[in-house]
Amino acid sequence: MRIAVTGLGAVSGIGFGVSENIESLRTGRHGMGKPRFFQTTLDVPVSEVKATNTELAKRLNLNAERTYSRTALLGLMAAREAVADAGIDVSKKRVGFISSTSVGGMDLSEVFYNDFRTDHNRGRLRLVSQHDCGASTEFIANQLGISGFVTTISTACSSAGNAIMLGARMLQHNMLDAVVAGGTDALCKFTLNGFGSLMILDKEHCRPFDATRAGLNLGEGAGYIVLQRSEDAAHAPYCLLTGYANANDAYHQTGCSPEGNGAFGSMSAAMAVAGLQPSEIDYINVHGTATPNNDLSEATAIRRIFGDRVPPFSSVKAFIGHTLGASEGIEAVYSALSVKNGYVYPNLNFKSADEAIGLAPETEFAEGRRVRNVLSNAFGFGGNDTSLVFSRAD
């Protein structure tokens, strides 16, 4: 069975919609800046979607008087674009929606908590009723009119990769005919302070794979892809999803092993599912958060697989930040277009190679390259490592 990618949708700090995102990647316009849309005293760059919740609601033709979690708004924007792009009839029973998020409606819960903490009878309930991860998923599914299988995955930063993988497997098992899969996450105090407490936020603009890299920048957004069996596609697909795998590093709750065992496991297994040799991978969209630990561990795993023939690779994290539960949703969209149009994305802010890594990423935007297969990585807390393989449909 061939699984086709037939629809794409994305919103991030570098654009509303897929074409704005690609245009920013092409012209080197990143999304980093001081936090403007949520209250924090932390002075670190973040990649915010450049709109207030009210503006987002208006763009989505929602009643702007009502309360929505930002996670739900961002998710609806990207998922709606993906569904329209694929031209699928979502009213059919065997259309599924598989979403992921790492914090759900936390942006509202932390506002609720300010009143609630001193008196448990205080705090507006509408600010906390959307706290759970399933709330944004159900909201998006209802807005889209999807009434088939709906669920939410939450495995920290690899969440959306796992959502896409589940979608592909449900098509393989003939449990669904079409599935919208990806993830959404809004920035909030909770996650920014969480990564701050781990001391892995760079106060400067992050520099993936660079010798001077000193941590990550967070971002927000959403990305979804539509998957169908290729014979059911309404139009020529962007590409095929040929490989997927999740493996566990089982080394540390937040850090990654020096040998990159989990990353090695997920990349090798995803390529095995796709039936590909390392020489057939033409581009790797690396996880590349820009923490000293992640990039070294990921590079080590890549070397173990590709030896001295490492394909072109880059991290888009300096453009959009680490968007956590949304990251592989957005990056799957970029990867699909890499296969379709031969795009290779620039790894911003890379200047000097790290001797321990010994690899240099791509630094210029390219198009029309021969890209047969793209390997895309997403790694998360709990040693949770996911890799996807996107391949040419012809």
Partner 1 sequence: MKPVYITRTCQIANDQLVMDGVEAVLDYKEIIADPALRRRMSRIVKMGVACGLKCIEGLTPESIDAIITATGFGCLADTEKFIESIVANSERLLNPTPFIQSTFNTIGGQIALLRGIHSYNVTYAHRGLSFESALIDAAMQVNEGKKNVLLGAIDEITASSADIQRRLGMTREYELGEGANFFVLNATASGNKSAAVLDIDTRSGRLTDDKLIEWIVETANRNGIEISDLCIVANCNTATTDNIKKRLSLKNKPLQFKTCDYPTLSARALDFAINNSTANKTLIISDYQHINHSLILLGRG
Give contact residues for partner 1 (rule: CB under 8 A). 40-42, 102, 104, 109-110, 113-114, 116-117, 120-121, 125, 128-129, 131-135, 137-138, 147, 149-156, 162, 166, 169-170, 173, 175, 189-190, 193-194, 196-198, 245-254, 261-262, 265, 380-384
Q: Which is nearer to partner 1, 99 or 347 (CB)?
A: 99
Q: What are phi and psi of 269, to 5 degrees?
A: -70, -40
Quickly tell me which residue has 């790492």 as its tokens.
102
Instruction: Quote the least distance from Cβ 373 to partner 1, whole Å.
Output: 22
Kindly give the pairing relationship between strand 3-12 and strand 46-47: unpaired
Q: Which is nearer to partner 1, 138 or 280 (CB)?
A: 138
Q: Which is nearer to partner 1, 155 or 338 (CB)?
A: 155
Instruction: Quote the least distance from Cβ 390 to partner 1, whole Å.
Output: 20
129, two tokens: 């009723």
State the Cα–Cα distance between residues 375 and 388, nearest whole angstrom: 6
E strand spans, 38-83: 46-47
Q: Which is nearer to partner 1, 123 or 311 (CB)?
A: 123
Contacts of 34 (CB under 8 A, 6+ apart): 43, 45, 46
Q: Is 11 helix (H, G, I), strand (E, B) or coil?
A: strand
Instruction: Quote the least distance from Cβ 254 to partner 1, whole Å.
Output: 6
Instruction: Quote the least distance from Cβ 155 to partner 1, whole Å.
Output: 4
Question: Which 8-state DSSP code applies to residue 353?
Answer: B
Q: Which is nearer to partner 1, 244 or 350 (CB)?
A: 244
Residue 216: beta bridge partners?
A: 201
Instruction: Quote the least distance from Cβ 73 to partner 1, whole Å.
Output: 19
Instruction: Quote the least distance from Cβ 196 to partner 1, whole Å.
Output: 7
Angle at 96 between CA 338 and CA 9, to 5 degrees: 30
Residue 113: burial class (beta carbons within 10 Å; 0-12, 13-18, 19+): middle
Q: Which is nearer to partner 1, 139 or 390 (CB)?
A: 139
